[in-house]
């Protein structure tokens, strides 16, 4: 079964040909698109995804709660940064953002951020949330950047199942293998 990936991007329709093309051509995952926070939340609550890629600048969609967050910041995607608010809700750092409990399958190691903000601008938030995969959007990106971002996320160690204890610290090296083990 192919991994399921959710891409939350307000200009996804514009990106279909150049960024989604390589993903669809390769066929290694089932890619679902959401163009606003309301649609993303509805999909996240209804389905289980193996990975998610979020933009920081997202419109609220039709949900009144997300529209309220948007209006409080001047109804501007740049200042609202609803993608970050969505991350805070998903990773349980701020349950006051949205009243429903986020699904227990959501894990920071399977979430990537793909945005025009620089890593420097969003690093404090991503570090707090333990999101390690991010990519800055710019005009020089290859058409395969979305596919490469998906691969990076799916290469992360598998998320723990709910209730499963984390491995002891120091037992996994950054490459995903056990530390102290040697190949024969």
For the chain, list the domains and their CATH numbers: 4-155 (3.40.50.2300)
Residue 179 has pLDDT above 60, yes or no: no
Residue 16 has pLDDT above 80, yes or no: no
pLDDT number for residue 96? 87
Closest CA to 85 of 72, 94, 74: 94
- Spatial distance between the Cα atoms of 184 and 73, rounded to a whole number of angstroms: 58
The conformation of residue 178, written as its DSSP 8-state character, comes to B
Tell me the C-alpha distance between 34 and 9, whole Å: 6
Q: What is the mean pLDDT of residues 129-137?
A: 93
Mean local confidence (pLDDT), 66-77: 84
Q: Give per-residue pLDDT as tens, 138-176.
A: 888 888 999 999 999 999 876 556 566 554 433 333 334
Residues with Cβ within 8 Å of residue 125, at least 6 apart in sequence: 84, 87
Residue 37 confidence (pLDDT) above 50: yes
d(CA 84, CA 125): 8
- Residue 154: the pLDDT is 93
Mean pLDDT of 72-78: 78
Count of CB atoms within 10 A of residue 184's CB?
A: 3
Using 50, 70 and 90 to split pLDDT, how confident is the model at 22?
A: confident
What is the percent of the chain where pLDDT is above 90?
A: 54
Query: How confident is the model at residue 160, as a pLDDT?
Result: 58
User: Which band of pLDDT confidence, cut at 50, 70 and 90, is reported for residue 129?
Assistant: very high
Residue 84 binned pLDDT confidence (cut-offs 50, 70, 90): very high
Rg of the chain, C-alpha, whole Å: 17
Enter the pTM of the model: 0.81
User: If you average pLDDT over residues 45-71, what whole number do you get?
Assistant: 94
């Amino acid at each position: 079964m192919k991994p399921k990936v959710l891409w939350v991007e307000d200009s996804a329709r514009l990106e279909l040909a150049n960024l989604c093309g390589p993903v669809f051509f390769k066929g290694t995952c089932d890619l679902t698109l959401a163009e606003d926070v309301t649609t993303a939340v509805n999909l996240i609550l209804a389905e289980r995804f193996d990975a998610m890629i979020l933009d920081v600048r997202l419109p609220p969609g039709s949900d009144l709660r997300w529209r309220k967050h948007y209006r409080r910041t001047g109804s501007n995607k740049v200042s609202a940064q609803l993608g970050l608010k969505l991350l805070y809700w998903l990773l349980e750092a701020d349950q006051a953002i949205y009243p429903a409990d986020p699904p227990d399958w959501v894990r920071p190691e399977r979430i990537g951020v793909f945005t025009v903000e620089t890593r420097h601008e969003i690093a404090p938030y991503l570090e707090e949330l333990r999101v390690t995969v991010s990519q800055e959007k710019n005009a020089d990106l290859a058409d395969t950047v979305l596919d490469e971002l998906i691969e990076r996320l799916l290469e992360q160690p598998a998320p723990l199942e709910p209730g499963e204890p984390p491995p002891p610290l120091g037992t996994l090296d950054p490459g995903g293998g056990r530390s102290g083990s040697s190949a024969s």
